[in-house]
Amino acid sequence: MISGASKSPAQNPVLRNLQFSPIKQGDDQLIVLWDPSGLSREKLILPLNLFFIVQHFDGEHSLQEIGVLYLKRFGEFLMPSKVEQLVVDLEQNLFLEGARTESARQQARIEYRHQPTRPTAFAGRSYEADGAKLRKQIDGFFTSGEGPDFKPSENRGKLMTGLVAPTYDLKEAGPVYAWGYKELQEAQQPDVYVLIGTAHAGLENFFAVTDKDFETPLGVVQADRAILGQLRRFVPEYFEEEIAHQSEHAIEFQLPFLQTIIGKPFTMVPILSSFSALSLNDPAVRNSVDRFLTALRGTMSSSGKTVCIIAAGELAHLGLRYGDNAPPTDFSFHRSMQHDLEMLKQVEELQPEGFADYIRKESDRRRISGFSPIYSLLRLVQAEKGQVLRYDRGITDQYNSTVTYVSMAFF
């Protein structure tokens, strides 16, 4: 963050909260950057020396100071014109904080608010865009070799009150989703689904609620106007970042499953969340999280409807893409898997603070991105037990960077 009002954005640029991934082109190692919020649609591919520069665009380092660090690191002078052009390119692509980005952000908020629904953003990329093909694709996740078998669930006919599902690309993780949604298909199904998904681009207010219906290739999923209207009256500040829903996939990826398996009309409450286990040590963060969850719990209770909480998020993030110094090995992955399953014991036992403490003891070094939705579920769910159904991982780049995820049910 910039620590002084006198600092110039041109001389002390601030890179936005972007995601990056290492890639190979021939013998060259490069870095690709993109904006997970969707405000910028561009991707920027940088050689390692330019990536070194933008990593210091934190508002604290001036371009002159970065030049000194560059000389020490690479043994050559950084031409001022080169770095100034880099700043211009980043600003034009909305990769830097500043007036241009803020104007675009405000315009995006206005446009989203005026949309009648939240349109699908990932159909045709992460799953089939045609409705008939999508139903066939979803059915295939259930019947694949990695999907759930046809043996009836031991919880068949019980009211299912909670579900943890991945947010990983459906084409790869679809069978793991299916394990959880098979339990829901066979359960006594509730009236409303409170979907709490990871906001991968981050949030200032820790939660972002929208009252829009969501479009999918299978039709429109209705938002629960009664619950959302009451929630807005209690905690209106948590609706201020609803634009975060526009390009976030966490909730969108759950909807085709719900539309395929639910046998009666239903509504949803779409919520994104973003806070870490470590951040709950800050009283201000803790108070804000408590305020929202208390309001949501009271609103659900007073609605008189049966509710299922769906937490959409992933677990560990390992490898160069996520900040480790080396790619994960088979040994390091299996060790991380053991830690994941130990951590999930706290989730099965409905221990939100135990779940948070486990991650804090690790200093969140495995980057549990789904902490906030899973923690929120544990604070809200009315259940006797949780159960891990299926655990798996995905490989996200050429360097074996790995994401782990799980499907869980709560009754």
The pLDDT of residue 26: 84
* 8 Å CB contact between 166 and 312: yes
3-state helix, strand, coil in the chain (%, to 5): 40, 20, 40
* 8 Å CB contact between 402 and 316: yes
The pLDDT of residue 6: 57
If asked whether residues 250 and 322 sit together in one domain, one would say: yes
The pLDDT of residue 291: 98
If asked whether residues 58 and 157 sit together in one domain, one would say: no
Kindly state whether residue 14 falls inside one of the protein's structural domains.
Answer: no
Tokens of 327: 């790619």
Kindly state whether residue 10 falls inside one of the protein's structural domains.
Answer: no
Q: What is the DSSP string of 167-203?
A: -S-HHHHHHHHHHHHHHHHHSBP-SEEEEEEE-TT--
If asked whether residues 197 and 304 sit together in one domain, one would say: yes
- Tell me which DSSP letter residue 15 carries: B
If asked whether residues 78 and 128 sit together in one domain, one would say: no
If asked whether residues 40 and 69 sit together in one domain, one would say: yes
If asked whether residues 131 and 160 sit together in one domain, one would say: yes
Which structural domain, as residue segments, surrounds residue 403?
Answer: 118-410
State how far the Cα of 3 lies from the Cα of 12, in Å rounded to an integer.
11
Kindly state whether residue 230 falls inside one of the protein's structural domains.
Answer: yes
If asked whether residues 185 and 289 sit together in one domain, one would say: yes
CATH number at residue 198: 3.40.830.10
The pLDDT of residue 4: 43
* 8 Å CB contact between 250 and 199: yes
If asked whether residues 173 and 306 sit together in one domain, one would say: yes
If asked whether residues 60 and 162 sit together in one domain, one would say: no
Q: State the total domains in the chain.
A: 2
Other beta carbons within 10 Å of 62: 15
If asked whether residues 80 and 142 sit together in one domain, one would say: no
If asked whether residues 264 and 331 sit together in one domain, one would say: yes
If asked whether residues 245 and 140 sit together in one domain, one would say: yes
Final residue of a structural domain among 44, 76, 106: 106
pLDDT, averaged in runs of 10, over the chain (411 residues): 57 92 87 92 92 94 92 91 91 94 92 94 96 97 92 91 97 98 96 97 96 97 98 98 96 98 93 98 98 98 97 97 93 96 98 98 98 98 96 95 98 96
Kindly state whether residue 343 falls inside one of the protein's structural domains.
Answer: yes
